[in-house]
Amino acid sequence: MFQRLSTDTFNWILIIGVILFVIEIAFFHGGAIVSALFSTAFVYVGWKNFTQLWGKILFWLGVVGLIFAILNMLAVRFLILAAIVIFLINYSKSKQEAEHIHPELTRDVVNADEVIHVKPLFDHKIFGDQHTADTSYQWRDINIHGVFGDRIIDLSNTVLPNDTSVISIRHVVGNIIIYVPYEVEISVHHSSIFGRAHILGKHHRKLMNQSLLYQTENYDTTLPRVKIVTSLLSGDIEVKRI
């Protein structure tokens, strides 16, 4: 549906959505946004105590409240309406004009590189914890995002290539813990809205919309090395040797 959408049109939709978001905060006291934040807090607390009955109740109340709060936002209503209008326009165009595809065989096709599909180490997971295997596993670079839960990565159970390995995690609420062997050089670039950071003996006990960058002394000249890039809305990060 969005393949025919021009970049300018998409940018205008985003700009109008942001303007509506600001209007809701300025003139409607951010009622739906405050409700969404409270519901998010309920979901987080409920998920952390999901094994108990009151935790389950709090979690599902928070989920329902979050859905209704999001749908009550002016910006979200506008985006839903815009998506429906774009779908109808594209559907109408597709009925009026047929798309003709004329395949052309060129020498580039014959000489094209062969690629294989590699299963990633982690899949994207909205809710729940994720951690590497307790036994040995084959290393693959990590690039994931999530909403709730902890992410635990133990590099002592794998063999890193004699190159730069990459760990990229974008997360909303939860903790990130990464264990790195002593013989591996490390670079950590972490950004957080709320939380704490414990990175190779350096402690930041109160992060407020901050970005941190640490790397070991020989990171630029020695292999193997691992580059860690993380972002959190609320949560702690810990990177330590093992």
Which residue, among 237, 222, 133, has the nearest Cα to 184 in the 3D structure?
A: 222
Mean pLDDT across 68-91? 77
Encoded tokens for 158: 């794998």
| pTM exceeding 0.85 | no
Q: Which of 108-117, 148-157, 220-229, 231-240 has the lowest mean pLDDT?
A: 108-117
Q: Give pLDDT tens digits for 183-202.
A: 999 999 999 988 899 999 89
Q: Give pLDDT tens digits for 19-76.
A: 777 776 766 666 677 778 888 888 888 888 878 888 888 888 888 888 888 777 777 7
How far CA 155 is from CA of 5, 81, 160, 236, in Å, comes to 43, 46, 8, 19
Confidence of residue 148 (pLDDT cuts 50, 70, 90): confident
d(CA 136, CA 188): 24
Mean pLDDT across 93-116? 61
Confidence of residue 18 (pLDDT cuts 50, 70, 90): confident
d(CA 125, CA 152): 13
